Structure 1
Amino acid sequence: MTASPETALTDVRYEEDGHVGVLTIARPEVHNALRRRTYDELEELVRTTTARVLVITGEGRSFCSGDDVRELMGGGDPEKRPPRPAPRLTPAAGALLTSDVPVIAAVNGAAVGWGMEMALMADFRVAARRAKFGELFVKRGLCSDVAGIARLAQLVGREKAAELLFTGEIIDAEEAGRIGLVGRVVDDDQLLPTALELAGRIAANPPLAVGALKAGLREALDPDWTELGRWVSTRLGELFATEDHREGVRSFLEKREPRYVGR
């Protein structure tokens, strides 16, 4: 496997093997939590890859633990939280959702918050037995990003999607396989070999035809991601200003039970 010539990356690692690209979130010391730089590198690599198939995974024992709450949520302090942009689709989400390159999420551990969103934005999810999944946004007083609202229900049905979103429950790989959230559950040491074997079979096919098929699925099944992104970011802007959001973040950082007040 040869490394990409890209040299400026700090949070993400990218390698290509033939026509298959492997993108690894590389912040294992914080369970691959996403900061602004991570989002930017992820978006850039997805938009510029020349691979025919892209595999996304995480370094260490976590796939992705979602947003870095200290940087992106200001640790619950509104004075420290960076200003939000005008309502829009998250750029990294836009890159993943509109790319004609097939994406395989090789989920090697916890995929929670935006980590679960990222897995949902992939075309295929292969999970190691130690993987866990959770839409934790409600626990922070927030709503999920677009994939949790639209793509999750496509996979598991509206009622189960509502249960996962409204409760913030974390489920294991076996349950994720049972409800159809993931397509394959494999032994931990077989995760990347399984994902790469699937990627290789897809990459061996004519890339223009594969890209057209992915675009066709998007046309037939997906909502208007840009409009949904604007709706989500508007709601998030309102929810970020609530006491419940601040309490959700602070209780997480202080490792205690939250006390929500509904305002």
Structure 2
Amino acid sequence: MNEPGAAPELLEEIADGVMTLTLNRPDKLNSFTPEMHALLRAALARAAEEPTVRVVLLTGAGRGFCAGQDLGARHPDSGGGAPDLGETIETLWNPMARAIRDLPKPVICAVNGVAAGAGANLALLCDIVLAAESARFIQSFAKLGLVPDSGGTWTMTHRLGEARAKALMLTGEPLPAPKAEEWGLIWRAVPDDKLMDEARALAAGFAQGPTFGYGLTKQAVHAAGHLSFDESLDLERDSQRRAGRSADYAEGVRAFMEKRSPVFTGEPS
């Protein structure tokens, strides 16, 4: 828990449809405590339910994005025997991973510095990842005798293929942001001093967009990894049926016919 008067471990701001969440333990490279887990999951739940929130922007304070889990309370020599890291994943990391993937709104991550361990995989859970050119993604688990978690084995393998995923995970070699972009692991690497401007501009665009349609698109893309081609066609049909009944579709058609910019509300109907 925070000390009295201490800054919160997660900063939250909602403005113009954008919920900006900033991991705020810069002295610890924003490594996660149970408190930070609880704060982030609560914020994601609010984002899912609050219609005025149209997009989430996640970033970190200070010189790094996130170093993963704070291992201080999980030191094997702290007493009580070996810690149950599986419980940590089951109760903390996995629920957060599912909350980000399942959020029916775009989630942008602005990686402002090193993203290591579960911190790297947290970033990769987001829908669109921008990273400062100086940022690095490090699958540091092997250095501790551990297995990549927080969706890392799935995300890395699906985006990079088995050869690159294995090499990065087994060696723990840092992957610079420009190379991560080149390999298709992230959307874009941008100059450090332009990162937040680009991330905020992207978020502002999504905040004015057809939120319901964005959510359906996310679901279809996520499902494509395990569906057959015919099953994907069926899902596209069903999703398009729902999108076609939305207020945003009606507004989009009207705006097109009237040769003006649409004013989307993000509502399903």
**Unmatched 5+ residue regions in structure 1?**
1-7, 224-263
- Normalised by the length of structure 2, the TM-score is 0.74
1:32 aligns with 2:30: yes
Match for 1:58: what amino acid?
G
Aligned residue in 2 for 1:61: 63
Once residues 76 and 116 of structure 1 are traced to their aligned partners in structure 2, the CA distance between those partners, rounded to angstroms, is 26
Distance 1:136 1:178, change over 3 A: same
Contact in 1 for aligned 2:118/2:150 (Cα 8 Å): no
User: Which string of whole-angstrom CA distances, capped at 9 and with x for unpartnered residues, describes residues 73-104 of structure 1?
Assistant: 22654627655539847221121122112111
Once residues 75 and 110 of structure 1 are traced to their aligned partners in structure 2, the CA distance between those partners, rounded to angstroms, is 25
Distance 1:85 1:69, change over 3 A: closer
Q: Secondary structure at the match of 1:137?
A: helix
Aligned-pair identity (%): 32
Flag as ranges the 4+ runs of structure 1 deviating above 3 A: 75-78, 80-89
Once residues 222 and 62 of structure 1 are traced to their aligned partners in structure 2, the CA distance between those partners, rounded to angstroms, is 34
Once residues 123 and 11 of structure 1 are traced to their aligned partners in structure 2, the CA distance between those partners, rounded to angstroms, is 23
Greater relative contact order: 1 or 2 (C-alpha under 8 angstroms, separation 6 or more)? 1
1:172 aligns with 2:173: no
**Unmatched 5+ residue regions in structure 2?**
1-5, 228-269
79-88 vs 152-161, greater mean Cα deviation: 79-88
**1:45-194 correspondence to structure 2 within 5 Å:** 45-49=43-47, 50=50, 51-71=53-73, 73-74=74-75, 76-77=77-78, 79=80, 83=84, 85=87, 88=90, 90-194=94-198
Distance 1:87 1:146, change over 3 A: closer
Distance 1:62 1:215, change over 3 A: same
Distance 1:186 1:113, change over 3 A: same
Once residues 76 and 124 of structure 1 are traced to their aligned partners in structure 2, the CA distance between those partners, rounded to angstroms, is 39
User: Which string of whole-angstrom CA distances, capped at 9 and with x for unpartnered residues, describes residues 130-164 of structure 1?
Assistant: 21111111111111114211111222222111111
The structure number with the bigger radius of gyration is 2
Deviation at 1:24, TM superposition (A): 0.3
- Normalised by the length of structure 1, the TM-score is 0.75
60-69 vs 140-149, greater mean Cα deviation: 140-149
